[in-house]
């Protein structure tokens, strides 16, 4: 979680600016706030890094996906194609805006594949919620071809892919709307925070209003504003935005350090036969927050995880069984345990308890992801590489024996 590695005086300074005025609310109160607009500055910083025409800061990344879906015009009864490998917020966002998730296959990019999307299309498919996983990016040329051929609305959950890109375009900006997360575990954190992005003015205006009870934010009398759409409260506070601003300024340097450390770790591991890496659709666009190691098969990956646990090696995720990012762990979804009835329960949908996604099972079964730290020393990387190699070699020897 690189952002938090560098928490320091820059963050404190931005927070103090807000504490000086006591203006914790992001809108209005022009006189009291003394020129301090942290949410606006945070948004400007995100626009600078991503090249987005519009960016809107909100309370968290999960809210930002829901806002992206809703402002893109996706709602009740619409089918939205989603991946089985994502933080579950993607699926929750689709469910809670009233739409129906349809799971499709991922490939070795760890993201939905163009082929997987095509196979999941039905007459009710309205859009795709593509997730750029583990700091990388989906195979955008092929996906854009499918999206435009089938006239689908593309929304991107780039929750883990802030500052990554494909052929020079930031993840999150290929479709109608996109989202980034600034929670505690991402490349930059606001404590809690999210950013909605789009290049489309109308979509931005809807999102801006939707995320604040429908307010159009025109004029300086909040009570008398117009309400173009119904909305809800997904606002970010100035305190969170202040942290997000300071952290976002550090992202270019964090990304550079991540890339250097990831490259070093990959080079040290690549000599070991049986170890390969997930595919990056554009290696130059990697934000390098994870090294995604692929073992020959699921059994070997499980044994490698066991060997690493025995040896006390930390800092990795085995999503297939250990983490909350893969469909295998989503029992509440499979059993439709809901607090109250959701629109999806009134429509036809996949049998979520019996999804048939063999390719995704195979890819995630083989995957072990290591969080890259931007503050690693070369010695630390060398030690980690040695420990990974030992564990993988032991695991592979067991399998062939
Ligand atoms: C972190 C994350 C989210 C959720 O973001 P929050 O800010 O924690 O709400 C959504 N999608 C993906 C892919 C994520 O990694």
Query: What single string gives the DSSP state of each residue in 126-184?
Result: EEEEEE--TT----HHHHHHHHHHTTPEEEEE-TT-TT-EETTEETT-SSSEEEEE-ST
90 lines ligand 1 (CB under 6 A): yes
Query: What distance in angstroms lies between residue 400's CA and the mean position of ligand 1's atoms?
Result: 39
Q: Residue 127: which of 98, 108, 99, 107 has the closest Cα?
A: 99
| 80 and 100 Cβ atoms separated by less than 8 Å | yes
Q: Report how far residue 29's alpha carbon sits from residue 220's, in angstroms, rounded to the nearest whole number.
A: 8
The domains found in the chain, sorted by start residue, are: 2-250 (3.40.640.10), 252-400 (3.90.1150.10)
Q: What is the pTM of this model?
A: 0.97
Q: Report how far residue 135's alpha carbon sits from residue 262's, in angstroms, rounded to the nearest whole number.
A: 12
Rounded to 5 degrees, φ, ψ at 332 are -65, -35
Of the residues 112, 157, 178, which should be mutated to test ligand 1's pocket, given the most ligand atoms within 8 Å of the CB?
157
194 lines ligand 1 (CB under 6 A): yes
Give the three-class secondary structure for 275: coil
Sign of torsion over alpha carbons 278, 257, 245, 168: negative
Sign of torsion over alpha carbons 231, 150, 104, 87: negative
Q: What is the pLDDT of residue 170?
A: 98
Q: What is the pLDDT of residue 196?
A: 98
Q: How many CB atoms lie within 10 A of CB 334?
A: 15
Query: What distance in angstroms lies between residue 275's CA and the mean position of ligand 1's atoms?
Result: 29
| 244 and 182 Cβ atoms separated by less than 8 Å | yes
Sign of torsion over alpha carbons 236, 203, 217, 249: positive
User: Residue 348 to residues 100, 168, 338: CA-CA distances in angstroms?
Assistant: 9, 40, 17
289 lines ligand 1 (CB under 6 A): no
pLDDT in tens, the chain (401 residues): 678 899 999 999 999 999 999 999 999 999 999 999 999 999 999 999 999 999 999 999 999 999 999 999 999 999 999 999 999 999 999 999 999 999 999 999 999 999 999 999 999 999 999 999 999 999 999 999 999 999 999 999 999 999 999 999 999 999 999 999 999 999 999 999 999 999 999 999 999 999 999 999 999 899 999 999 999 999 999 999 999 999 999 999 999 999 999 999 999 999 999 999 999 999 999 999 999 999 999 999 999 999 999 999 999 999 999 889 999 999 999 999 999 999 999 999 999 999 999 999 999 999 999 999 999 999 999 999 999 999 999 999 975 55
Q: What is the pLDDT of residue 399?
A: 54
Residue closest via CA to ligand 1's atom 2 equals: 159
CB neighbour burial string for 49-76, b if at least 16 within 10 angstroms, e if fewer: bbebebbbbbbbbbbbbbbbbbbbebee
Q: Report how far residue 325's alpha carbon sits from residue 319's, in angstroms, rounded to the nearest whole number.
A: 6
Residue closest via CA to ligand 1's atom 11 equals: 159
Of the residues 138, 155, 159, which should be mutated to test ligand 1's pocket, given the most ligand atoms within 8 Å of the CB?
159
| 211 and 261 Cβ atoms separated by less than 8 Å | no
């Amino acid at each position: 979680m690189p952002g938090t590695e560098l928490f320091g005086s820059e963050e404190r300074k931005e927070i103090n600016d807000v504490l000086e005025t006591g203006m914790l609310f992001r809108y209005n109160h022009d006189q009291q706030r003394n020129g301090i607009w942290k949410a606006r500055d945070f948004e400007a910083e995100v626009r600078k890094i991503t090249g987005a025409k519009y960016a809107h800061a909100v309370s968290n990344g999960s809210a930002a996906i829901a806002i992206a879906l809703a402002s893109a015009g996706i709602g009740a009864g619409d089918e939205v194609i989603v991946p089985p490998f994502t933080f579950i917020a993607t699926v929750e966002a689709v469910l809670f805006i009233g739409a129906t998730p349809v799971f499709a296959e991922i490939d070795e990019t760890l993201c939905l594949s163009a082929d997987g999307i095509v196979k999941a299309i039905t007459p009710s498919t309205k859009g795709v919620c593509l997730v750029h996983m583990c700091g990388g990016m989906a195979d955008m040329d092929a996906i854009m071809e499918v999206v435009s051929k089938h006239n689908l609305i593309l929304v991107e959950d780039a929750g883990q892919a802030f500052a990554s890109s494909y052929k020079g375009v930031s993840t999150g900006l290929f479709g109608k709307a996109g989202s980034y997360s600034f929670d505690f575990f991402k490349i930059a954190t606001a404590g809690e925070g999210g950013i909605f992005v789009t290049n489309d003015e109308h979509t931005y205006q809807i999102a801006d209003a939707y995320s604040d009870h429908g307010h159009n934010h025109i004029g300086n009398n909040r009570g008398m504003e117009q309400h173009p759409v119904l909305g809800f409260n997904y606002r970010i506070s100035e305190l969170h935005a202040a942290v997000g601003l300071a952290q976002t300024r550090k992202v270019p340097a964090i990304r550079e350090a991540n890339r250097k450390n990831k490259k070093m770790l990959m080079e040290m591991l690549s000599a070991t036969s049986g170890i390969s890496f997930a595919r990056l659709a554009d290696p130059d666009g990697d934000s390098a927050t994870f090294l995604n190691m692929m073992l020959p098969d699921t059994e070997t990956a499980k044994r490698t995880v066991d060997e690493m646990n025995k040896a006390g090696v930390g800092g990795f995720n085995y999503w297939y069984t250990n983490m909350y990012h893969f469909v295998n762990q989503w029992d509440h979804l499979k059993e439709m345990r809901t607090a109250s009835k959701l629109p999806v329960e009134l429509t036809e949908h996949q049998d979520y308890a019996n999804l048939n996604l063999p390719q995704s099972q195979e890819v995630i079964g083989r995957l072990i992801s290591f969080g890259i730290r931007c503050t690693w020393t070369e010695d630390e990387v060398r030690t980690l590489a040695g420990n990974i190699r030992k564990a993988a070699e032991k695991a592979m020897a067991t399998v062939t024996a």
